[in-house]
Amino acid sequence: MYRLRTHLPWFSASAGELSTLAMLSHPVAKRHAATIWEATKHGGGITRAYERFVLGSVVDEAVSKLKAARTRAEWDRYTPIGISACTPVLERIKAHLENIFVESVVPARHESASESDKADDLRRNAVDAARPYGRVEDVFEKVWLGGGGGLEGV
């Protein structure tokens, strides 16, 4: 297992390939898997928003999510990192939707422009990370930007 690094071109492997390798080697060599995971986080092959999002987690958490997702046939089109990202991405979307609901019900307090910009950036990151998972990001974006109008058919 220790010679695997010499055979894998880390400089050209994608984040999906490296994270898959880390998850596959985790049961056998946890320390080596953690090294690969760290190299994936700091490598330049991270291209998708959900990859940047999930690589903040630890290998153990990703492996447990992957094992739980194995029973679902609809996950076949995703890489292991995509499966690992789904739950935290959807939880983030849910939290943003809860905040939007509260803001629409409770009278708004005055917040600074920087706080508003930061909240918008966090919501935009959540929308970008959720794009591969279907229509949920479309619904969230409509609620966020459009104030909830026109969602009857969703």
- Domain segments of the chain as ranges: 15-106+113-146
One-letter amino acid for residue 12 of the chain = S
- Residue 60 pLDDT class (50, 70, 90 cuts): low
What is d(CA 142, CA 151) in angstroms, rounded to the nearest whole number? 8
Q: Which of 40-49, 68-77, 93-102 has the highest mean pLDDT?
A: 93-102
- Residue 75 pLDDT class (50, 70, 90 cuts): low
DSSP code string of 9-32: -TTT--HHHHHHHHHHHTTT-HHH
The answer to pTM > 0.85 is no
Tell me, what's the pLDDT at 89? Answer: 80
- Residue pair 81/16 in contact (Cβ under 8 Å)? The answer is yes
Matching residue, tokens 């803001």: 103
Tell me, what's the pLDDT at 101? Answer: 81
pLDDT at residue 57 above 70? no
